[in-house]
Structures are given as C-alpha cells and as structure tokens.
Structure 1
Amino acid sequence: MVRTIAIVNQKGGCGKTTTAIQLAAEFAKSGQSVLLVDLDAQSHCAAGLRIPDSRVHNGLARLLASDTPPEIPWEDLPITVQDGLDVLPASRELAEIERMPLDQLTGEETVRLLRVLRSFTGNYDVRILDCPPNLHLLTLNAFRAATEVLVPIECGYFAIKGAERQWEFLNSVVQEYRRQICCHLLPTMLRDSDLSKNLLSIMEKRFAGQILPTAIRDDDAVREATVRGVPVATHQPTAPAAQDYAAVASWLINNPPLPEADPGDPPRRNARIAEVTARLIRSAEVKDEPPRAVAVTPGRSEFSAASTAEPSGGLAVQDDCTLGPVPIPGGVEFRREWSEDAPEASVIGEFNQWTPGRHRYQRDPQRPNMAVVQVPLAPGTHQYMVHESGRDPVADIHCSKLERNQYRMPVSIAEVTA
C-alpha cells in the first residue's frame, strides 16, 4: 500500500497548496520517494515550485477524462524538481472534468485517479494530492484514492466555522463511501496574537483527537520561498514555519495510516456509488451557495432608508446620523463612519456564513460621512461582527448590545421585529 495523503479544503487562502508542497519536500528530505499530484486546474503546485509553463502538460487531465484513457508514456508525465520529489502538474483542462452532468455519473468517475496512480511505473513511497478548493468530483476522486485526508485550517474565526461544516461533509463522505480512513486537521497561519492563540485552543478542544499536535506559524519565509519557487526548508531551514512543517512530517511518518485504509480494487461501474457521488456534490454545492443578492443603491434602499420603524432591542432610529445596526423594513442597515484611509470593511454573520466581502460597507453619497450596508434579515436576533481587511473580526463598536458566542468571543446583536 502506497501512502496517499489528500490535502483538502474548500476554502481558499488556508495554506492548502503550501502545505502540500512543504510536506512533499519534507517526506523527500527524509529519504522517501514522493509524487506530488496537482488536481487544481489553477496549477499552483507548478507555480510554487517554479516549474516553467513550457513543461506543464495536460497529461493528467487526459488520463482522467474518460474510462478508457489514452496511451501516454508514463515516464513523460512526472517532473522531477529535487531528489526524491516528482510533480504531476495540473492544467486548465482539469476544470472540464468538474462539469460532468451529475445525472450521467456511473460511479466509475470517482475511481479514475486511483487507477491512474496504480498504473504509474514509478516506485513511490508517498503520494501527496493537492485538491481543488471545492468538494466536487476531483476532490471525491482524491478521497477514494487516499489512505488519509489532511485539512489545513487557518487559525481564524471564519476558518473554524468553515471547519465545522467541512468536517460534517467529510464524515458524510466516510459513511457514504464506507471507507475506513483517518482525517486530520492541521492548524495553519498561527499568528502571535492572543486572539489567534485563543482560536487555536478552541480548535484543539472542538476537534480533539483529529487535530495534529503542531500548528504552522504565520511566517514571511513561506511567502518568500513561494516567490523563489522552492520549499521553505530550502529557502530558510531555521524559519519557524520550516520547523513546524518538519515536525508535522515527522509526526505523520511515525503515525502511518491504518492497513484497512487501502482503497482496494473498486468496480468500474456502481449504481450506488454514482447516486452517492451525485448526492454529496449537490450537498456541497448547497453549502457553498452564497446568500441571495439584494440590489441596493446607497442612500436609496429598496427597503426605504428613510424608514421610521419602531426601535427594537435598543436599536434606535433617532435620525439619519445614527451609527450601528439600524432596523429598516425587511432587514437592517449597518452604519459606520466613512474615511478615505479606512481599510475595506464588511459585516459578517450567520446570514452570510461569516464570509468577509459578501456585505461590504459602501460610502453613502447622500450621507458622505457615513458608510452603509443593508442586509435582508428575518425577524429575530442576529449575531454579527465587523471585519476589516487584513485584521481579525471584532464586535461593532457602534452597537451597545453584545453577547458571547459559542467560542466565548464577543459579538454584536442586531434585532429585527416582525
């Protein structure tokens, strides 16, 4: 059984590709023969290891595109980047595989990667699969080919919320595909701040037994290494992140996967697998679906910004200069001061899955000293925070009503009456 680790996270910016590259390099440094497989059509592994575009080919996409792949010389596919480390690059054509109609699945589509990997003539000890930032067909291929799954999770508030949803999805995949497979979480981008360390502590308690014992510290050396196209251990071996990735690789080497994690020899066509795959992809798409878009012109809301709605829960509508959450028909208008020098800011909450950027503050042309964003909300109480670009989220300083969420973090409360 060749150890095969799928690096999975549907959220971008969590260090997924960075983790794939660094762990592949660390395994190679330990004397093992490693194949790094890039399943993301953006081809970030090639970019992160300075592989010229002229050497990036569509061989993998061609092999995965059909049940009867073309005859391609295997020795022409992997690209050696250092002793013990080969890369099987991605190409734009991989994106076409994700577009296969779900009603045409036969079940065979989820084991194509497994068959491709088993056909390789190279004698590899470890295969690292860098998955695309979604939970669709290629990621499910990786799951069926893997002996274990590793999920990098940024030490940030949004990431914890996303990790809970992703962990729920992975549990569904384990049950639906009936796989005995270990899933690990790897905290990444740990900053030297009380908030970041507090969030790490929350993650350790929330995912006890699944979270790896070493967190990857946020480190400029990683970004510098990416620009140079080399692993961080090559660029700066004593960097904090280099030491962290070495510790993670050492832990993985000393904790091999269970023998029952071997994917086995799946049948080519399987109606149950086809049904399960379609259901899993649809459920992932529902969870990824953005909230309903609402067209709002600053200062001229379709909810009537000049509303005289009755005050609710201490949210006074005294005049047009009130800051904080202001109730309007059908939702809330969130207000703050406008400043040319202020970073981009947005409101986050359950109503947008705590995702920054979906409800951004915009300068109001009729109230030039104010930035506003209007959010349609159902009657009830709604937790929210304010996120400024490049910073951790905080409670709204203009909202007097606060409570602590499940992570013991202070959040603001907006109330909407029927």
Structure 2
Amino acid sequence: MCKIIAITNQKGGCSKTTSTVNIGIGLARSGKSVLLIDADAQGSLTASLGFKRPDEIGITLATIMAKTINEEDIELKRAILKHEEGVDLIPGNIELSGLEVQLSNVLSRELILKEFVDSIREEYEYILIDCAPSLGMMTINALVAADEVIIPVQAAYLPVKGLQQLIKTINMVKRRLNKKLQVGGILLAMVDYRTNYAKNISAQLYEAYGTNVGLFKTYVPLSVKAVEASSLGISIYRHDPKGKVAQAYAQVTEEVLYSEN
C-alpha cells in the first residue's frame, strides 16, 4: 500500500520544502521506497535536492501533467531524478505556472495529478508532494491526489492566522472531491522556544487545533543548519546528524510511520 502525503501551507517560509525533504529522506532511511514530487513553480524542492537549475530540466511535473491531459504516453524513467540519499524526485519548475493557466480549460481539472499519481502508486510506499505556497489549482490537484495532509507552520502570528483558510480549503476538497483525505497534523517548525512569543503562539495553536485537527508531538527548532543543508542539496541527517533539527525530523518521521499502525 502506498501513502500519498501533500505537504502544504499557503504561506511561504514555513519550512514546507525542508519538511518534505527531511521527512521523505527520513522515510527512505527507514527502508521505505519514496517518491518526492515538486508541485511548486519555484522549483524549491528540486533545488533543495541539489538540482540547482530547475528551469533548465527538460522533463518535469509540468511535462507529465500536460501528457496526462493529452492522454499521451509518459516515459517515467526519463522523468525521475535519483538523489544520493535514496529518494526519487519528479522535479518542478516555472513551467508549472503556465500549466496552471492551461488547467482552467481542462475537463475535471482537479483530477489530473491524481490520475498520474494513481498510475505509479504501486511503485512506492510513500509519495510526498511539496505544494506551492498558494491555494491555486496545483495545490487543489495535490489535495485531491493525497491520502493525507501535513501542514508545517512557523510559530508566528501571520502564518498561524492563515491556517483557518487553509483548513477550510482542505475540508472543502474532502467534502467535494476526495472523501478519504485526512489531516496528518500541523507541524510546528522554525520554533524558538527561548522566547515567550513562540510559546504563546504554540499554546494558541494547541488550543485552537489540538482537538479537531491535531498537531505533531514533535516540533522542529529554529536552526541555520537546516538552511545550510538545503543550499548543499542534502538532508539535515547528512549535514548535521547529531543536531537538534536532525533529531526532530527523525522523530517526526517516526510519527508518520507510527500513524500507519
């Protein structure tokens, strides 16, 4: 059985891509077969895995979805990039912006990514989709394709304020388009618990969403090491294996695995 997880937040700078990389590679380190999909036109996930010029990559998610729309054969082996830490990647780049416009004229446009993902889900145990920082058609496609959503949130006022609209959108997709969709949890990231501000924001999150949405037990602390790892194209496990962020993402990965049992 394959589990498809969309990692999303319409607010940028909340460790969404960093979480996709480190949860994905954490699952691979646990012996799971993992595919990461970059569904963001900025290509942040692709760049964070060491492919520094995503806009120059020939076959990307945009190519695949266009072929899916036109019912053309997809050469999947040419599309998938291999990362040295054991995960596969379908890259994303600026072409996704044009595809999003094209989707507006497509029949059943919310189902295009799901159609492709369903065709490959037997090949993997986990597929993680890194969504764009928006609630556009690509993000809706990811939510329709997913079994579960993980929502990374920075412990700050504005990112938390935007959660209400995101959860409303997730619930709408669940009602109308994907009845099996579940929220895996809100993941507090970039947390500096040395400040009362972060403690207060975290307490508000637990009070507002702890019961009806759920939060991960583990939080990811603020650290420059996570940013450094992304710039080097490797995971935090390789860049700073004994650091607090690596330990945190290892525990988050365990929570993702435990939810299967």
State whether TM-score is above 0.5: yes
Partner Cα distance (2:218, 2:94) in 1: 34
Query: Equivalent residue for 1:246?
Result: 250
Partner Cα distance (2:178, 2:32) in 1: 30
Q: Which moved more, 1:55-64 or 1:9-18?
A: 55-64
TM-score under structure 1 length normalisation? 0.58
| Contact 1:63–1:70, Cα closer than 8 Å, also in 2 | no
Structure 1 residue ranges without an equivalent (≥5)? 258-418
More strand by share: 1
3-state secondary structure, aligned to 1:253: helix
Structure 2 letter corresponding to 1:236: D
Partner Cα distance (2:154, 2:89) in 1: 25
In the TM superposition, residue 172 of structure 1 has moved relative to its aligned partner by 2.1
In the TM superposition, what whole-angstrom CA distance separates every residue of 1:310-335 from its partner, at most 9, and x where no partner exists? xxxxxxxxxxxxxxxxxxxxxxxxxx
Query: Equivalent residue for 1:304?
Result: none
Partner Cα distance (1:200, 1:115) in 2: 37
| Contact 1:57–1:91, Cα closer than 8 Å, also in 2 | no
Structure 2 letter corresponding to 1:125: E
- Structure exhibiting the larger radius of gyration computed from Cα positions: 1
In the TM superposition, residue 105 of structure 1 has moved relative to its aligned partner by 4.6
3-state secondary structure, aligned to 1:206: helix
Query: Equivalent residue for 1:81?
Result: 83
| Contact 2:39–2:96, Cα closer than 8 Å, also in 1 | yes
Residue from 197, 215, 218 that aligns with 1:214: 218
Query: Equivalent residue for 1:113?
Result: 113
| Contact 1:46–1:56, Cα closer than 8 Å, also in 2 | no
In the TM superposition, what whole-angstrom CA distance separates every residue of 1:43-86 from its partner, at most 9, and x where no partner exists? 11121111253873334212212522433321111111025311
Query: Equivalent residue for 2:27?
Result: 27
- Percent identity reads 28
3-state secondary structure, aligned to 1:116: helix
Written as runs of structure 1 = structure 2, the 5 A alignment for 1:183-332 is 183=183, 184-191=185-192, 192-209=194-211, 210-256=214-260
Partner Cα distance (1:173, 1:46) in 2: 27
Partner Cα distance (2:158, 2:174) in 1: 24
Query: Equivalent residue for 2:61?
Result: 60
Structure 2 letter corresponding to 1:73: E
Structure 2 letter corresponding to 1:72: I
In the TM superposition, residue 101 of structure 1 has moved relative to its aligned partner by 7.0
More helix by share: 2
Query: Equivalent residue for 1:387?
Result: none
Partner Cα distance (2:71, 2:225) in 1: 41
Written as runs of structure 1 = structure 2, the 5 A alignment for 1:78-157 is 78-100=80-102, 102=104, 104-107=105-108, 109-120=109-120, 123-157=123-157
- The count of corresponding residues between Structure 1 and Structure 2 is 255
Structure 2 residue ranges without an equivalent (≥5)? none
Partner Cα distance (2:6, 2:168) in 1: 17
In the TM superposition, what whole-angstrom CA distance separates every residue of 1:100-158 from its partner, at most 9, and x where no partner exists? 474x4522x22221221233387211000001111111111111111101111110011
In the TM superposition, residue 241 of structure 1 has moved relative to its aligned partner by 1.2
| Contact 2:144–2:178, Cα closer than 8 Å, also in 1 | no
Partner Cα distance (1:165, 1:130) in 2: 19
| Contact 2:132–2:138, Cα closer than 8 Å, also in 1 | yes
Q: Which has the higher contact order (CA 8 A, sep 6+)?
A: 2
TM-score under structure 2 length normalisation? 0.91
